[in-house]
Amino acid sequence: MGEDHRKKKKEPGTSGVSRRDFLTGAGVGAVGLAAGGAAGAAPAAAETGAQVVAAGEMVPVALTINGQRHRLLVEPRWSLLHVLRHELALTGSKEGC
């Protein structure tokens, strides 16, 4: 039992990367990308003049739908579907899965 039974001879046409090594590398890359993306998002919002709104505070919004302009106050947590169907009574849009 001196030999490691997990080691196999390299078959022709295969790379030296195992499935485990590939998945480990992909996971590390995804974590790094997510951390880098989150760090870069905050300055971008500050540069555009976006403002932070408290939960429950209404925000003025202007929408142009079918050539008609609509100005209304919405809560930041509302989806566009909610605004169209419940606030503007435009029931043509349907909720998917």
Residue 53, token pair as written in the block? 């709104």
* 3-state secondary structure labels for all residues of the chain: CCCCCCCCCCCCCCCCCCHHHHHHHHHHHHHHHHHHHHHHHHHHHHHCCCCCCCCCCCEEEEEEECCEEEEEEECCCCCHHHHHHHHCCCCCCCCCC
Segment 81-90 mean pLDDT: 94
Q: What is the pLDDT of residues 5-60, one digit of tens each?
A: 566 665 666 667 788 887 787 777 777 667 666 555 556 556 777 777 777 789 99
Length in residues, the chain: 97
